C-alpha cells in the first residue's frame, strides 16, 4: 500500500519560479553570481565567481544572457565543482557550449549533499534546463483507492493529490490496468463504485447488484459487518495477502457445498475465478520480490529508452517506457542516475529499486530517496536469480520499445520534411497546430486545437475552447475560428512574449546537443485549419490584429469534390489552391492530423452537450446537497415542478427551512424579482 507523499526535508527549497528573468534577484536564498553589467561571460565569469564560493554543499544554476536557465547541478563542494568548469580542459562539446553561453550563475548552499540532490531534482523538473537530462513524459500514475471517509468503502481509480481519506494502492502503469483490475475486483469482492451522492440517493439496488458486481450496501442488501469483511478481504488482496484471501474463499465455498447450499457455493466460485483473472493478466508475478521498481536502460543511435516495471505486493502492476532528453555523449549510467532522482521527486518510492547499470552516486541516491520516502530504500544491480531474470525481461522490453520509437521518429521526420517541401516551408516544422470547430446548429459550440511534432501527436498540449462570443450568428464557423485564434495567440503572447528566431530551435548553435532532440517548442511553425478560403481568411485576420501575420504559416485543408478523402484542396497565402496525388504520403499525414483534430473536437462537443443535457437545475443552488435534492424530488417529482412551486409549498418539504425555501424560490424567479 502506498502512503501519502512525504514532505521535502528541512533546508530544501521547494520553488516553482519559472524563468529567472521573471524573478527578482536574490529571492529564496539564491545569490546572484554574475553581476549585471560586469561584461564577463563563459569561463572568465566562472573564474571570477570561484573566488567567492564556499567550500560547502549546494546547488548552482547557469543562465544565459536572456536569464534562461541552461543547467542545474549539485555539488558536495560548490567551490571545487565550479572550478572544474573554469579550467576549460577536457570538456565535451556539450559542456563547452554550456560554458560559452553562461553569462550569470546563481547558488544556494544546503546543509548536506543529500539535500542538494533533492533540490537539484526538484529544480530540474520545474525549470527544464536545456543541458540537463530531462524526463519527457511525466504523466501522473493511476492508483486504486479504497475510501475510508464515513460511508461504506468504495473502490475507485485515482490520480493526483491524495486528499481523500482512504488506502491507496499502486502505482499502476496505465489507466487500463487499473480499470481491468477494478472490474475484476468488483466481481471478487462486490464493492461499490458509485459516487457518494448517488449512494445516498438510492432507494433500490442498481443494475450492478443485479449482475453480481456490487453487494448493494446502499439499500441494506448486505449487513454492515458482512460488507466490512468484504472490504477487509479486498485490502488484504491488494496488500499482497492474496493466498490468504483465496484460501478463505475456497474454504467458504467447500463449507457451503457440504451444506448443500450450492447457490452460495457458486458465488464463492465466481469470486475465486475473478481473483484468478486479476493475477493471470499481470504477467510475471515474482516469488521473492514483494515490492520493487525495476529500471532498465537501452541506448543506441543517440537515443535512450528506460523501461520501468512496477512490482507491488508480489504482483506485477505494469510497465512504462520513458525516452529522456539527454546528450548523446552521456553514458547509460549517467542518464539513469539523473532520471532516477527526477522520477521520484513527486512519487512514492518502494523499498527496493533494481537498476541495470551501476551509478556513480548509488549510496547518495539511496540516502536521498530514503530521506524523502521516510523508510529505507535499497538500490541494487541484480547479478543472479529471480531479480536478474526480471532485469533481463525489462532490458528486452527496453530494447523493443527503443527500436519502435526509433522507427517511428525516423518515419515522422521524413513526413515533416516532405510536408515542408510540399508547402514551401524553409525547414521541417517542429510544431504543427491543427484547429477545428464542432457544434450542432450553433449550440454547444467548441473549438479545438491538437499539436503534432517530431514524436507524433503531443496530447498533453491539446486545448479546447468553449465559444463565448454572444455576437456570433449561430453556426458562424468563420467567426468561431477567429475567436479561437484570437484567444489562443493572445494568451501565447501574454505568457511567452512575441516569437523569437530561436523559439523553434531553428537558429540554435551547434553545441553538441542531442541531434535527435524532439522537444516541441512553444510557438507553432504551421497552423493547419480544417476549412477552405473562408476559414483561412478568418485566421489571417485574427493574426493580423495581433501583429503575428508573418510569424507563422497558415494552411487550410478543405474536403474536395463530393467531400471524398483523397481529393482535398489546400489553401495558403500567395498560392493558388491545389491538391496532392491520391497516394502521396504527405496527403495521408495531413489527413491523419485533420482526422485527429476532428475526433478531438467531436468528443469535446459531445461531452459538453451530454453535461448540459444531464445537468439538474437544483445543482446550481448553493446549499442544495444530495439529501435536500432527494427530498425535493421525492416531494415534487421533477426539478421543473420545483421551479414552479411557491414558497409555502417549498417550506413543507422535509429539511427545507424558510430561508432555504426563499433561496430556492429566488433562484427560479430572479427575473420576476428584478
* Interatomic CA distance for residues 233 and 244, integer angstroms: 9
Give the per-residue pLDDT at 507: 40
* Interatomic CA distance for residues 267 and 188, integer angstroms: 9
Q: Residue 634: how many CB atoms within 10 A of its CB?
A: 12
Dihedral angle of Cα 345, 347, 352, 356, to the nearest 10 degrees? -60
Task: Say if CB 403 and CB 304 are below 8 A apart.
Answer: no
Pick the residue with more confidence: 266 or 193?
193
* CA neighbor of 13 nearest in space, from 101, 100, 122, 92: 122
Pick the residue with more confidence: 253 or 344?
344
Task: Say if CB 529 and CB 555 are below 8 A apart.
Answer: yes
Work out the end-to-end distance of the chain between its first and last CA atoms, rounded to an integer number of angstroms: 56
The cell for 143 is: 492508483
* pLDDT-derived band at 276, boundaries 50, 70, 90: low
Residue 328 has pLDDT above 80, yes or no: yes
* CA neighbor of 122 nearest in space, from 54, 34, 61: 61
Residue 10 has pLDDT above 70, yes or no: no
Q: Taking residues 308-318, what's their average pLDDT?
A: 81
Q: Which fold has domain 432-612?
A: Nucleotidyltransferase; domain 5 (3.30.420)
Give the per-residue pLDDT at 431: 94
* Interatomic CA distance for residues 136 and 125, integer angstroms: 10
Pairing of strands 432-440, 526-530: parallel
The cell for 42 is: 563563459
Give the per-residue pLDDT at 244: 65
Residue 509 has pLDDT above 60, yes or no: no
* Interatomic CA distance for residues 454 and 428, integer angstroms: 9
353: enclosing H helix or E strand: strand 352-355
> Edge-to-edge strands of the sheet including 352-355?
315-322, 303-312, 292-300, 352-355, 378-380
Give the per-residue pLDDT at 504: 46
Task: Say if CB 135 and CB 125 are below 8 A apart.
Answer: yes
Task: Say if CB 378 and CB 350 are below 8 A apart.
Answer: no
* CA neighbor of 2 nearest in space, from 313, 294, 278, 287: 313
To the nearest 10 degrees (0 to 180), the angle between helices 93-101 and 42-50 is 80
Q: Taking residues 653-673, what's their average pLDDT?
A: 79
Look at domain 20-127 and name its CATH class: alpha beta
The cell for 340 is: 532516477
Pick the residue with more confidence: 207 or 674?
207
Residue 21 has pLDDT above 60, yes or no: no
> Edge-to-edge strands of the sheet including 31-32?
31-32, 104-109, 58-63, 69-75
pLDDT digits (tens, 9 = 90+) for 68-122: 899 999 999 999 889 888 876 667 888 888 998 999 999 999 999 999 999 999 8
Give the per-residue pLDDT at 186: 82
Pick the residue with more confidence: 426 or 667?
426
337: enclosing H helix or E strand: helix 332-343
* CA neighbor of 538 nearest in space, from 465, 488, 478: 478
Fold matches, 432-612 and 617-673: no
* CA neighbor of 58 nearest in space, from 113, 121, 16: 113
**In the chain, % of residues over pLDDT 90:** 25
Residue 593 has pLDDT above 80, yes or no: yes
* Interatomic CA distance for residues 257 and 274, integer angstroms: 19
DSSP bridge partners of 107: 31, 60
The DSSP secondary-structure symbol of 29 reads G
When mean pLDDT is compared across 48-57, 579-588, 613-622, the lowest value belongs to 613-622
Give the per-residue pLDDT at 279: 55
Pick the residue with more confidence: 123 or 236?
123
Q: Taking residues 464-493, what's their average pLDDT?
A: 85
- Go through 557-578 and write b for each residue having 16 or more CB atoms within 10 A of its CB, e for each that does not: bbeeeeeeeeebbbbbeeeeee
Residue 257 has pLDDT above 80, yes or no: no
371: enclosing H helix or E strand: helix 362-373
Give the per-residue pLDDT at 370: 92
Q: Taking residues 381-399, what's their average pLDDT?
A: 92
Tracing cell 520499445 back to the chain, one arrives at: 401
Q: What is the pTM of this model?
A: 0.66
Distances (CA, A) of 562 to 263, 568, 570, 578: 61, 10, 16, 16
* CA neighbor of 29 nearest in space, from 115, 133, 134: 115
Q: Taking residues 341-360, what's their average pLDDT?
A: 88
Give the per-residue pLDDT at 566: 61
| Domain positions in the chain | 20-127, 143-280, 292-403, 432-612, 617-673
Give the per-residue pLDDT at 445: 84
Tell me the H-state helices in 165-261.
175-189, 196-201, 207-210, 224-238, 242-258
* pLDDT-derived band at 510, boundaries 50, 70, 90: very low
Length of the chain in terms of residues written = 674
**Which residues 6+ apart lie within 8 Å of 455 measured at CB?**
408, 409, 412, 518, 520
Mean pLDDT score of the chain, rounded to an integer?
A: 81
Give the per-residue pLDDT at 379: 93
* pLDDT-derived band at 37, boundaries 50, 70, 90: very low
Q: Taking residues 220-226, what's their average pLDDT?
A: 89
Q: Taking residues 576-602, what's their average pLDDT?
A: 89
Give the per-residue pLDDT at 123: 92
Task: Say if CB 129 and CB 120 are below 8 A apart.
Answer: no
* CA neighbor of 536 nearest in space, from 577, 588, 580: 577
Task: Say if CB 66 and CB 21 are below 8 A apart.
Answer: yes
Give the per-residue pLDDT at 640: 78
The cell for 592 is: 491523419
Residue 506 has pLDDT above 70, yes or no: no
Pick the residue with more confidence: 243 or 204?
204
3-state class of 420 per DSSP? helix
Rg over CA atoms, the chain: 30
DSSP bridge partners of 59: 74, 108
* CA neighbor of 42 nearest in space, from 70, 74, 21: 70
* Interatomic CA distance for residues 46 and 67, integer angstroms: 16
* pLDDT-derived band at 512, boundaries 50, 70, 90: very low
* pLDDT-derived band at 38, boundaries 50, 70, 90: low
User: In this structure, what are the phi and psi dihedrals at residue 109, rounded to the nearest 5 degrees?
Assistant: -95, 150
Give the per-residue pLDDT at 240: 63
Please tell us whether the domain made up of 292-403 is placed in CATH 1.10.10.10: no
Give the per-residue pLDDT at 633: 80
Q: Taking residues 375-401, what's their average pLDDT?
A: 91
Give the per-residue pLDDT at 476: 79
Burial of residue 635 (number of CB atoms within 10 Å: 0-12, 13-18, 19+) = middle
* pLDDT-derived band at 620, boundaries 50, 70, 90: confident
Give the per-residue pLDDT at 203: 86
Task: Say if CB 116 and CB 57 are below 8 A apart.
Answer: yes
Residue 611 has pLDDT above 80, yes or no: no
Q: What number does CATH give the domain 617-673?
A: 1.10.150.20
Residue 336 has pLDDT above 50, yes or no: yes
Amino acid at each position: 500500500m502506498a502512503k501519502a507523499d512525504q514532505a521535502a526535508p528541512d533546508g530544501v527549497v521547494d520553488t516553482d519560479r519559472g524563468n529567472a528573468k521573471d524573478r527578482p534577484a536574490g529571492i529564496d536564498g539564491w545569490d546572484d553570481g554574475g553581476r549585471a553589467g560586469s561584461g564577463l561571460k563563459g569561463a572568465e565569469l566562472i573564474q571570477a565567481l570561484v573566488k567567492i564560493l564556499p567550500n560547502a554543499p549546494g546547488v548552482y544554476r547557469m543562465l544565459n544572457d536572456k536569464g534562461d536557465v541552461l543547467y542545474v547541478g549539485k555539488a558536495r563542494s560548490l567551490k571545487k565543482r565550479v572550478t572544474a568548469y573554469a579550467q576549460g580542459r577536457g570538456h565535451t562539446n556539450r559542456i563547452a557550449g554550456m560554458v560559452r553561453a553562461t553569462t550569470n550563475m546563481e547558488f544556494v548552499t544546503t546543509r548536506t549533499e543529500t539535500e542538494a540532490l533533492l533540490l537539484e531534482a526538484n529544480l530540474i523538473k520545474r525549470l527544464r534546463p536545456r543541458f540537463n537530462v530531462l524526463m519527457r513524459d511525466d504523466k501522473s500514475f493511476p492508483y486504486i483507492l479504497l475510501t475510508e471517509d464515513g460511508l461504506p468503502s468504495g473502490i475507485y481509480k485515482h490520480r493526483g493529490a491524495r486528499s481523500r481519506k482512504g488506502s491507496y494502492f499502486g502505482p499502476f502503469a496505465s489507466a487500463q490496468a487499473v480499470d481491468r483490475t477494478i472490474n475484476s475486483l468488483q466481481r471478487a469482492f462486490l464493492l461499490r463504485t458509485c459516487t457518494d451522492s448517488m449512494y445516498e440517493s438510492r432507494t433500490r439496488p442498481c443494475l450492478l447488484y443485479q449482475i453480481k458486481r456490487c453487494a448493494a450496501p446502499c439499500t441494506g442488501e448486505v449487513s454492515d459487518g458482512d460488507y466490512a469483511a468484504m472490504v477487509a478481504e479486498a485490502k488484504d488482496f491488494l496488500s499482497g495477502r492474496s493466498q490468504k484471501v483465496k484460501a478463505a474463499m475456497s474454504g467458504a465455498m467447500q463449507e457451503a457445498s457440504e451444506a448443500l447450499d450450492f447457490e452460495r457455493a457458486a458465488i464463492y466460485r465466481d469470486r475465486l475465478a475473478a481473483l484468478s483473472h486479476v493475477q493471470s493478466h499481470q504477467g510475471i508475478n515474482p516469488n521473492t520480490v514483494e515490492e520493487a521498481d525495476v529500471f532498465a536502460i537501452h541506448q543506441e543511435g543517440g537515443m535512450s529508452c528506460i523501461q520501468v516495471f512496477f512490482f507491488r505486493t508480489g504482483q506485477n502492476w505494469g510497465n512504462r517506457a520513458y525516452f529522456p532528453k539527454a546528450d548523446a555523449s552521456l553514458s547509460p549510467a549517467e542518464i539513469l542516475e539523473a532520471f532516477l532522482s527526477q522520477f521520484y521527486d513527486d512519487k512514492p518510492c518502494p523499498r527496493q529499486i533494481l537498476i541495470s547499470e551501476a551509478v556513480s552516486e548509488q549510496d547518495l541516491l539511496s540516502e536521498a530517496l530514503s530521506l524523502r520516502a521516510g523508510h529505507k530504500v535499497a538500490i541494487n544491480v541484480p547479478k543472479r536469480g529471480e531479480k536478474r531474470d526480471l532485469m533481463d525481461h525489462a532490458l528486452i522490453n527496453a530494447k523493443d520499445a527503443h527500436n519502435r520509437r526509433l522507427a517511428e521518429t525516423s518515419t515522422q521526420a521524413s513526413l515533416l520534411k516532405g510536408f515542408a517541401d510540399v508547402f514551401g516551408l524553409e525547414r521541417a516544422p517542429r510544431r504543427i497546430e491543427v484547429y477545428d470547430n464542432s457544434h450542432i446548429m450553433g449550440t454547444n459550440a467548441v473549438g479545438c486545437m491538437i499539436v503534432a511534432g517530431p514524436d507524433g501527436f503531443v496530447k498533453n498540449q491539446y486545448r479546447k475552447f468553449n465559444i463565448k462570443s454572444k455576437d456570433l450568428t449561430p453556426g458562424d464557423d468563420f467567426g468561431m475560428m477567429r475567436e479561437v485564434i484570437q484567444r489562443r495567440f493572445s494568451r501565447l503572447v501574454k505568457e511567452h512574449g512575441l516569437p523569437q528566431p530561436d523559439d523553434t530551435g531553428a537558429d540554435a548553435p551547434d553545441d553538441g546537443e542531442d541531434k535527435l532532440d524532439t522537444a516541441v517548442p512553444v510557438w507553432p511553425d504551421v497552423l493547419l485549419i480544417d476549412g477552405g478560403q473562408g476559414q483561412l481568411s478568418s485566421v489571417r485576420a485574427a493574426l493580423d490584429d495581433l501583429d503575428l501575420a508573418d510569424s507563422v504559416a497558415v494552411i487550410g485543408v478543405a474536403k474536395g469534390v463530393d467531400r471524398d478523402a483523397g481529393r482535398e484542396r489546400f489553401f495558403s497565402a500567395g498560392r493558388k489552391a491545389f491538391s496532392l496525388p491520391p497516394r502521396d504520403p504527405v496527403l495521408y499525414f495531413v489527413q491523419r492530423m485533420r482526422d485527429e483534430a476532428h475526433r478531438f473536437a467531436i468528443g469535446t462537443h459531445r461531452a459538453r452537450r451530454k453535461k448540459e443535457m444531464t445537468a439538474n437545475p437544483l445543482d446550481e443552488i448553493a446549499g442544495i446537497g444530495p439529501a435536500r435534492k432527494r427530498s425535493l424530488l421525492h416531494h415534487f417529482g421533477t426539478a421543473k415542478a420545483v421551479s414552479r412551486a411557491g414558497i409555502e409549498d417549498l417550506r413543507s418539504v422535509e429539511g427545507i427551512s424558510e430561508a432555504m425555501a426563499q433561496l430556492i424560490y429566488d433562484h427560479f424567479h430572479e427575473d420576476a424579482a428584478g
